[in-house]
């Protein structure tokens, strides 16, 4: 007989696995969106065939343009500009 704790642990493991798969799918969608745009597929066409909203597509494209945290410059160590 399976203990309640074992059932809960199994259910939580399933939840974690599903969330991992969702995050991976979101990354795959982002890469595919950027790739489609890089070969001049219009946002309207992407929305039409994917079912994704244009707003979401624009957000994905904007996020892809932003530098990652490791690439972002804090401005430290930069020479001061003359006013």
| Distance from chain centroid for Cα 20 | 12
Question: What pTM was estimated for this model as a whole?
Answer: 0.70
Query: What helix, strand, coil percent values describe the chain, rounded to 5?
Result: 65, 0, 35
Q: Where does 1-82 show beta strands of DSSP type E?
A: none
As given in the structure block, the two tokens for residue 83 are 């006013």
Q: How far apart are CA 4 and CA 20, in angstroms?
A: 24
3-30 per-position pLDDT tens digit: 999 999 999 999 999 999 999 999 999 9
Query: End-to-end CA distance of the chain, in Å?
Result: 76
30-58 per-position pLDDT tens digit: 999 999 999 999 999 999 999 999 999 99
């Amino acid at each position: 007989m399976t203990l309640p704790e074992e059932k809960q642990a199994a259910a939580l493991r399933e939840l974690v696995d599903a969330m991992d798969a969702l995050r991976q799918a979101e990354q795959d969608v982002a890469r595919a969106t950027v790739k489609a745009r890089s070969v001049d597929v219009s946002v309207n066409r992407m929305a039409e065939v994917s079912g994704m909203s244009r707003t979401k597509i624009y957000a994905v494209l904007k996020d892809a343009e932003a530098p990652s945290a490791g690439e972002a410059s804090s401005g430290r160590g930069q020479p001061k500009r003359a006013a």
